[in-house]
Amino acid sequence: MKILITEEEKENILSQHSEPNKEVLNHLKRHYHFGKIDYEGHLYYGSPYIIVDEKMYFIEDNKKRLVNKIFNEIEDNFKNLDIAVIRQTIKKYLDYIKNS
C-alpha cells in the first residue's frame, strides 16, 4: 500500500521536525541547566553535562536516556504539541549543549 500526500502536507511535516519548538526550547533553557567539567585530571574533563532531577548527567553517555527522562517530566506542560516535536526539540537542545 502506498500513501500519497500533497506537497503542502509534506512541507508541513518537514517544518514541524526541522526546527525546534520555541516554547519547549525556552522551557528547557530555563529549567535544565548545563555546563562542562572544568578541573583537570578527571575522566570526563571537557565533557558537557546537564542537571536533571538535581543530578548531573553526562550527555555523551546518556543522550537517549536523557531524552526519555526529560520528556517524561515536561510532557504534561505541552499537551497541545505532538510528541515527536517535543522529543525532537529535546534532542536538538542536547545536541546544542554537546557542541557548545
Predicted confidence pLDDT, tens digits, the chain (100 residues): 777 878 877 777 666 556 889 999 999 999 999 988 766 656 556 788 899 988 989 888 789 999 999 999 999 999 999 898 899 999 999 999 988 7
- Gap between the Cα atoms of 89 and 56, Å rounded: 20
Predicted model pTM:
0.76
Give me the pLDDT at residue 64, please: 92
Please, are residues 18 and 84 in contact by the beta-carbon 8 Å criterion?
no
